[in-house]
Amino acid sequence: MTEYYDILPGAGIGGQAGVAYIKNGTEFNIPFKEGWIKEWQTKYFTLRNGEYTDYLPAIGCRLCSEKMREVLERCKSEKDVLQWLDAKVESETGEKRNYFVLHFPVLEDVLDKKRSKYVRNILTKKVINPEACLGHEVFSYIEESSISFVVSQKAREELKKSGCRGLIYIQMTPQKKSYPQKTIRKLYRIFHKKRVQKDEKKIIQSKENINWKQIEKLNLPADLVNFISHGKTLSYDEEKCKIGRTKLVSMDSLIFGRIYVEPKEKSSKKGYYIIPAVDLIAECKGFDPWGILVWIPDIQMLGTWDSNHRILRVFHNAVWDDVVSDPIKYLNGLWNPQEVENIVYEPNDKYSFVEEA
């Protein structure tokens, strides 16, 4: 079943998103209803109390960066209808950037009204019907009255890989039904033996289906590959970990991704380097997992990436066995870097550099 996510603007990990205010001091609202907006003049905003992100909090509209627009346009399906309206944002230091107000001329009837919750006719819990969403990648829906919109799992991954900042993802797909502990214990006793046998077969089959040539290109350490290929999980006190319970990536999802790292402050360059990286966390609690624990093939090091500040910290003296022995200090490294040995990685010109205006 395809997963779908509600996207909201926010700071994300390790940073503070600024808020865009309309320059003349008055509020304006894009109508959250169907139909193309035919008359539009460029809107001018002022950024206050924070930094630029790709999805800026703004009153009454969805304010997206050029990069975010490019990703969504690339991901949208033939069924999706998006309209982009010109806007410009100026920071308190005088820096100006081009943005776009995202409008959906067509709203989809995909809300699951039985599972969604209302308080005095106000929609407080949004649950969608996945079957009604088939064929859609980027869309909004009837009864939506906020600055959020919906993306598929595929579009979410592309937004993450592109390094788009300031996006909060909330799952809208119905959760699996939970059962009482007594029922769980009974089912466990009945199926435990068969499950173990099936798990062993799955491990054997998965190893046979793995593209080992592709894995070799990632320059992963042997102990890490062995750990993931056997479906092992990190063991630690979840209450002491910022991201709670985690799930590592599977062997078939070990791929090259990209992280973006800015040069030193004293550098005359304004922009960021693109560094190949392998993400190791598939799921966690309360945060977007992308970048929390990564492997950098070029330098053969584990690290953690602050996507909002575009800072990469590498655990230069750590191997995978160190992470297995004491996972918490590495999983918390983004928030508590003083508790784990690390250095801030400074990229050089061997990486591609993207200049920003």
Task: Answer yes or no: is 202 within a domain.
Answer: no
Query: Is the domain of 34 the same as that of 130?
Result: yes
Number of structural domains in the chain: 2
pLDDT band at 202 (very low <50, low <70, confident <90, very high): very low
What distances in angstroms separate CA 159 from CA 115, 221, 242, 303, one per listed residue? 28, 28, 23, 21
Task: Answer yes or no: is 97 within a domain.
Answer: yes
**Measured between alpha carbons, how far is 12 from 70 in angstroms, rounded to an integer?**
20
**Measured between alpha carbons, how far is 291 from 50 in angstroms, rounded to an integer?**
22
The mean pLDDT value for 204-215 works out to 53
Query: Is the domain of 145 the same as that of 231?
Result: no
Residue 13: which of 339, 263, 316, 311 has the closest Cα? 311
Question: Exposed/middle/buried for 281, CB within 10 Å: 0-12, 13-18, 19+?
Answer: buried
Mean pLDDT lowest for which of 186-190, 199-203, 320-324? 199-203
Amino acid, res. 54: D
| Contact assessment for residue 187 and residue 29, using Cβ atoms and an 8 Å cutoff | no
Task: Answer yes or no: is 205 within a domain.
Answer: no
The mean pLDDT value for 126-153 works out to 85
Domain of 228? 212-355
| Contact assessment for residue 294 and residue 304, using Cβ atoms and an 8 Å cutoff | yes
Query: Is the domain of 102 the same as that of 233?
Result: no
Query: Is the domain of 346 the same as that of 219?
Result: yes
Is the confidence at residue 232, as pLDDT, over 60?
Answer: yes
Strands 294-296, 301-306: pairing kind: antiparallel
Query: Is the domain of 38 the same as that of 165?
Result: yes
| Contact assessment for residue 170 and residue 298, using Cβ atoms and an 8 Å cutoff | no
pLDDT band at 44 (very low <50, low <70, confident <90, very high): very high
Task: Answer yes or no: is 183 within a domain.
Answer: no
Query: Is the domain of 160 the same as that of 262?
Result: no
Q: What is the DSSP letter of 184?
A: H
- Angle, helix 66-75 to helix 153-161, in steps of 10 degrees: 140
* Token pair listed for 101: 């107000």
Q: What is the pLDDT of residues 319-352, one digit of tens each?
A: 999 999 999 999 999 999 999 999 999 988 888 8
Contacts of 180 (CB under 8 A, 6+ apart): none
Q: What is the pLDDT of residues 292-302, one digit of tens each?
A: 999 999 899 99
Residue 260: which of 228, 290, 238 has the closest Cα? 290
Domain boundary among 139, 171, 203: 171
